Structure 1
Amino acid sequence: MPNPPRLRAAALTASAVLLSAVLAGCGDDSKDQDLTAQKLSWKDCPAPSTAEGGGDAPSPLPNGDEWQCATLKAPRDWAEPKGDTIDLALIRAEASGDESRRIGSLIFNFGGPGGSGVTTLPAFGEDYAKLRTRYDLVSFDPRGVGRSAPVECLDDLQLDAYFQQDATPDDAAERTKLLDNTKEFNAACEDNSKKVLPHVRTTDAARDMDLMRQVLGDDKLHYFGISYGTELGGVYAHLFPERVGRAVFDAVVDPTEDSEQGSLGQAKGFQLALDNFAEDCVSKTEDCPIGDTAQDVKNRIAKLLKDLDRTPIPGVGLRKLTQTAATSGIAQSLYSKDYWEFVTDALEQAYDGNGSGLMFLADSMNGRNEDGTYSNLTAANIAINCADDKARYTDDYVEQKLPEFRSASPIFGDYLAWGMVSCTDWAVAGAADHPDVSAAGSAPILVVGNTGDPATPYAGARRMVEALGAGVGVELTYKGQGHGAYDSKNKCVQGAVNGYLLDGKVPAAGTVCS
């Protein structure tokens, strides 16, 4: 992909649920009305649209209850709260326990930016069954995503070509092609989504959540944020510290880094995850099928990528597995240890000239559905990042930074460095170098960092705690692999998180789970 979404943005659930997009209208029918007084009309959820990933409507919950969906009206421009509105898509599972013990709604954001909470929450609903005993579980498509005024850029055929391009140029001609593709993509976003592009910043989504809190009837916002959802939660806490209830941040984005530092941190994080994957493969009792030693595994991957740069191999249908697609597929597999066996098989296939396994993983990263349609994951991801991030990097600047990125990761360095040109010539100026999450006066926020996290490296959790301010962030460490800790099903992590969200028991700062 010529300008891949920043990998921190690929949500915890990227390969399990492919996300986003049905048009939601912008209208002026809510002018002059108090949006906090609106009543939500909860109904059975429809099947996901093609752009959301297709498939069937959410299956009933284990006790037979149905998922319910509703639409919330919010100002398109929060600077003009009485102006035109947009529709935000919501989903909920009502609390299963005794009504007298119900705390309120627990709002989830699973990451991205660009991830659809309306499709993700049902896919993982059973993981949060204990939390549902005292909360309505609620999630939503943030503005710009899914059914919430989605950003639209290229069509499906154009996206196929876009993701086939070389995202790691080796010469002047390839560099020019990369920049041309970036400009084409960004121009299409402006042409197709001009009205919404200025209004998809994280600060806008945070204000949406406060409106959601009021309409749902809660005095405080109870919140579970994962990956980018931790940044969104931190921004909410900064804007509305006195309205924070019980909140958990898992797979924590470092709020002190600008986009370059974040990309470099990811290069290190994905390299660490690849190192761990290689060590795991060769440590098994059976021979590792993709290398004799951990270094051999990595050397063979590097050679494969170099060979693919010269000569792509058959992938899926008429599409070839390129160097960029293979890198995307490998990165996708590192989001969870559960995927390691799949990438092992996919690499074996690729060494034999069959790129389909890695191509399917890359399709998952890119939001491509089996029928060839795409969600708006990539479009929303780039739009939100570019609206948030002030920096605009040139190709000459990236060239200067390549040695540093390659030192951080021989496999992912170029890929992540060149991703920094994504916002070149973007139609909307970026808001800041990094988010402000200082939240003096907030209730305690449990901040969970995973030592083996590839997309949001572990150091970000400590920096989030420091940035939130004294007496707010409470750090918990999980010594594990993959992106996120709670869904690892580690009993220690889940016990600490459940204890806080359900009973208000704040774990001791510095608690370590393994």
Structure 2
Amino acid sequence: MPNPPRLRATALTATAVLLCPLLAGCGGDDPKDPDLTAQKLSWKDCPAPSAPEGGGAAPSPLPNGGRWQCATMKAPRDWSDPKAGTIDVALIRVRASGGKSQRIGSLIFNFGGPGGSGVTGLPAFADDFAELRTRYDLVSFDPRGVGRSAAVECKNAKQLDTYLQVDMTPDDAAEERKLLDGTESFNAACEKNSGAMLPHVRTTDAARDMDLMRQVLGDRKLYYFGISYGTELGGVYAHLFPKNVGRAVFDAVVDPTQNPEQGSLGQAKGFQLALDNYARNCVSMAEGCPVGDTPQDVKNRIAVLLKNLDAKPIPGIPPRKLTQSLATDGILQALYSQELWKYLTQGLYQAYQGDGKVLMLLADSLNGRNENGEYSNLIPANVAISCADDKPRYTVKDVTAKLPEFRAASPLFGDTLAWEMLSCSDWAVPGAAYHPNVSAPGAAPILVIGNTGDPATPYEGASRMVKALGKGVGIELTYKGQGHGAYISGNKCVRNAVDAYLLQGKTPAPGTVCS
């Protein structure tokens, strides 16, 4: 897309959909409005997801009879003026399976984004967290601006189809102008349709919502599992409310020390590493690799495909054409998880024959588009939260100056990730900070997991999060694997370490390595 910085963390939820059809804070006091902290949630059977949540069917009961329940929590629209009106925050839960005597409390999840719906994400991943459910109610939510929680609205589905086909790697001044015009048009639509909400979707606001949620759920401490952008949200929470941290896990860690430019450059390196690993894996297969004879041949052929698509798109899912930008999105989506590599091979092979359907399906998953042509509000929410959080506003001059460095980091993805830095051009709300403040002296231990093969949140971010949290807070665990995130990979070493910590309070030795 002209292109929100959505690659920060969206693909965990997007992958589930495909496979399953900042900030400087102030004060750590609890919310004082008695009407909000004392509110009683009315839990009922969950409806089918709303259009902004991505649509689809209501979540099915779990195999052992666990029933999904949904509720709405009231939160201040403006945390600086809590009496100036409220918004609805959508929640989902399934009760602990081990009985009252074993129950610890509520374990709150954020699966990433920013912009991912937790109300749809938690049921999609519930099987992965069955062991944790023995002692916790599993709870998630649509953060403000997302899904059913005062969703940010921008363009309609037809307009988004057009928007997402804009050339994200302009070759001349005219294409640069078209890219910038498309970005500014999208951002103006967000202001027109959701201007009143845009100042109130920062990560600090969502962190305050979580502390209100903790109280309303009846927990003395926050028990939390944050994945990808969810680690940033968790870090900001720990900074604002260090004394309220119970047990928390950060998996697929966003580097809290980087500004948006540094984060994008890190992702360029991360996705290039993932592509290198995919190419080596493909040619090592006993049955052979249908998209290249050597790792370099695989990458060369992909580069040629994208260059050809820049000049002439091929048929995708009718009536849409697979453009260079959408093909790049599809490749990026597949690199988030080793489970998707087989679809990448299939998609590339078909694209070489002139059929772009599979790569387009992957791109649609990344962008929150369902088979009916409807979009969740993943894209607008991602842009709105990111632009409210991030202070820098980059220009075409900034991007062109940085292109050589991005291309050196990733010959295939460098241009795309560099031009994405224009996403907040002419955004209606100023950004809060250059990077989030996650320092949390005095907080309880937080388990921080880095994956050496993670493309979207490169491994180095985990150690930097540990350092930024402060002495004695972050406990680092390394997973030598592929894909975005470690716990849902199924690795037994990671699972055992996380389960022992969350269920029994036993922390692994700092520097533990799982492979």
SS at 1:34's partner residue?
Answer: helix
User: In structure 2, what is the equivalent of residue 391 of structure 1?
Assistant: 392
User: In structure 2, what is the equivalent of residue 9 of structure 1?
Assistant: 9
After superposition, residues 76-475 of structure 1 pair within 5 angstroms as: 76-475=77-476
User: Deviation digits for residues 411-440 of structure 1, max 9, x if unmatched?
Assistant: 110000000000010000000000000000
Q: Give the 3 Å change call, closer, same or farther, for CA 32–251 of structure 1 in structure 2.
A: closer
Contact 1:9 1:381 in 2 (8 A): no
Residue 57 of structure 2 is aligned to residue 56 of structure 1: yes
State the distance in 1 between where 2:315 and 2:44 align: 45
Per-residue deviation, 1:33:
5.3
After TM superposition, the score normalised by the length of structure 2 is 0.96
User: In structure 2, what is the equivalent of residue 21 of structure 1?
Assistant: none
Amino acid at match of 1:68: Q
Contact 1:6 1:263 in 2 (8 A): no
Query: Structure 1: where are the runs of 5+ without partners?
Result: 19-30
State the distance in 2 between where 1:88 and 1:420 align: 30
Amino acid at match of 1:7: L
Contact 1:11 1:110 in 2 (8 A): no
State the distance in 2 between where 1:113 and 1:269 align: 19
User: Deviation digits for residues 155-210 of structure 1, max 9, x if unmatched?
Assistant: 11100000111011000000000000011000000000011100000000000000
Query: Structure 2: where are the runs of 5+ without partners?
Result: 19-31
State the distance in 2 between where 1:6 and 1:405 align: 18
SS at 1:153's partner residue?
Answer: coil
User: Deviation digits for residues 451-499 of structure 1, max 9, x if unmatched?
Assistant: 0000000000000000000000000000000000000000000000000
Contact 1:2 1:168 in 2 (8 A): no
Contact 2:6 2:113 in 1 (8 A): no
Amino acid at match of 1:113: P
Contact 1:475 1:510 in 2 (8 A): yes
SS at 1:49's partner residue?
Answer: coil
Per-residue deviation, 1:32:
7.1
After superposition, residues 457-496 of structure 1 pair within 5 angstroms as: 457-496=458-497
State the distance in 2 between where 1:32 and 1:347 align: 55
Amino acid at match of 2:229: Y
State the distance in 1 between where 2:260 and 2:413 align: 16
Per-residue deviation, 1:6:
3.4
Per-residue deviation, 1:49:
2.1
Per-residue deviation, 1:11:
3.5
Contact 1:33 1:82 in 2 (8 A): no
State the distance in 2 between where 1:65 and 1:401 align: 51
SS at 1:61's partner residue?
Answer: coil
User: In structure 2, what is the equivalent of residue 509 of structure 1?
Assistant: 510
User: Aligned Cα RMSD in Å?
Assistant: 1.0
State the distance in 2 between where 1:478 and 1:224 align: 17
State the distance in 1 between where 2:141 and 2:298 align: 40
Q: Give the 3 Å change call, closer, same or farther, for CA 33–99 of structure 1 in structure 2.
A: closer
State the distance in 1 between where 2:468 and 2:133 align: 30
State the distance in 2 between where 1:52 and 1:82 align: 28
Contact 2:268 2:413 in 1 (8 A): yes
User: In structure 2, what is the equivalent of residue 499 of structure 1?
Assistant: 500
After TM superposition, the score normalised by the length of structure 1 is 0.97
Contact 2:292 2:298 in 1 (8 A): yes
Contact 1:449 1:461 in 2 (8 A): yes
State the distance in 2 between where 1:269 and 1:431 align: 26
Contact 2:55 2:376 in 1 (8 A): no
SS at 2:13's partner residue?
Answer: coil
Amino acid at match of 1:450: N
State the distance in 1 between where 2:133 and 2:494 align: 17
Amino acid at match of 2:15: S
Identical-pair percentage: 76
SS at 1:479's partner residue?
Answer: strand
Per-residue deviation, 1:17:
2.3
Per-residue deviation, 1:64:
1.3
Per-residue deviation, 1:78:
0.1
State the distance in 2 between where 1:200 and 1:443 align: 27
Amino acid at match of 2:366: M
State the distance in 2 between where 1:50 and 1:388 align: 25
Per-residue deviation, 1:106:
0.2
Count of aligned positions? 502
State the distance in 2 between where 1:54 and 1:391 align: 34
After superposition, residues 1-40 of structure 1 pair within 5 angstroms as: 1-17=1-17, 34-40=35-41
User: Deviation digits for residues 324-383 of structure 1, max 9, x if unmatched?
Assistant: 000000000011100000010000000000011101100111111111111000000000
